[in-house]
């Protein structure tokens, strides 16, 4: 690895108490070495610190990768309106993309 070499990146779009994992990419020569897992863990820890309850994502290629990290498929209509209004949800990703969610913080109901 070269000093200051970019290995990968990950993005999160926050909307109220939900977020959309916008992108995850790892340089081809660094794939299958754990970099993507570390990036996702970092993102999830950030989400916890920011009191984000759910992380949503859309994928056409990485459903198994995210399933292995406890993300589960959900119906398109169950996604919060604020996430549905993102450009990724509305136009960037195809309608055939799998939508997944991971609960980050579970809020206890107050009786």
Whether 1 has a pLDDT exceeding 70, the answer reads no
List beta partners, residue 55. Answer: 19, 102
- pTM for the structure as a whole: 0.87
> pLDDT tens-digit profile of 38-56?
999 999 999 999 999 999 9
Domains of the chain: 8-103 (3.40.630.30)
3 state DSSP class of 87: helix
The dihedrals phi and psi of 31, each to the nearest 5 degrees, come to -70, 155
pLDDT in tens, 71-97: 999 999 999 999 988 888 877 677 788
- pLDDT, tens only, 62-73: 999 999 999 999
Burial 71-109 (b: 16+ CB within 10 A, else e): beeeeeeebeebbeebebbeeebeeebbbbbbebeeeee
Residue 4 has pLDDT above 90, yes or no: no
Q: What is the pLDDT of residue 107?
A: 59
Residues 9-34, mean pLDDT to the nearest whole number: 92
């Amino acid at each position: 690895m070269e000093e200051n070499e970019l290995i990968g990146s990950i993005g999160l779009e926050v909307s109220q108490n939900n977020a959309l994992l916008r992108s995850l990419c790892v340089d081809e020569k660094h794939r299958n070495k754990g970099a993507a897992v570390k990036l996702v863990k970092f993102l999830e820890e950030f989400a916890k610190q920011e009191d984000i309850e759910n992380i949503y994502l859309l994928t056409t290629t990485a459903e198994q990768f995210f399933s292995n990290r406890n993300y589960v498929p959900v119906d398109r209509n169950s996604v919060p309106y604020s996430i549905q209004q993102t450009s990724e949800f509305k136009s960037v990703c195809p309608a055939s993309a799998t939508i997944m969610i991971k609960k980050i913080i579970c809020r206890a109901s107050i009786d």
